[in-house]
Amino acid sequence: MGKFPIADLELSKIKICKKCKARNSAKSTMCRKCGYKFLRLKNKEPKAKK
């Protein structure tokens, strides 16, 4: 029952590690889990193609 509207906002400000898919802060320059340097921004796509 925990609804955090801010969580949804935070979701658009995270980076996904290309290697291990770990979620990192948008401010991160490298994965905090595996140290991989290539992170991609997780952005919501308005058009969800199936």
Cα torsion angle, 24, 30, 21, 12, sign: positive
* Structure-block tokens of residue 29: 């320059």
State the nearest-atom distance from the C-beta of 34 to Zn ion, in Å: 3
Closer residue to Zn ion (CB): 13 or 33: 33
- Asked if residue 22 binds Zn ion (CB under 5 A), the reply is yes
- Asked if residue 42 binds Zn ion (CB under 5 A), the reply is no
Residue 16: what are its φ and ψ, rounded to 5°? -105, 130
Q: For binding to Zn ion (CB under 5 A), which residues are involved?
A: 17, 19-20, 22, 31, 33-34, 36
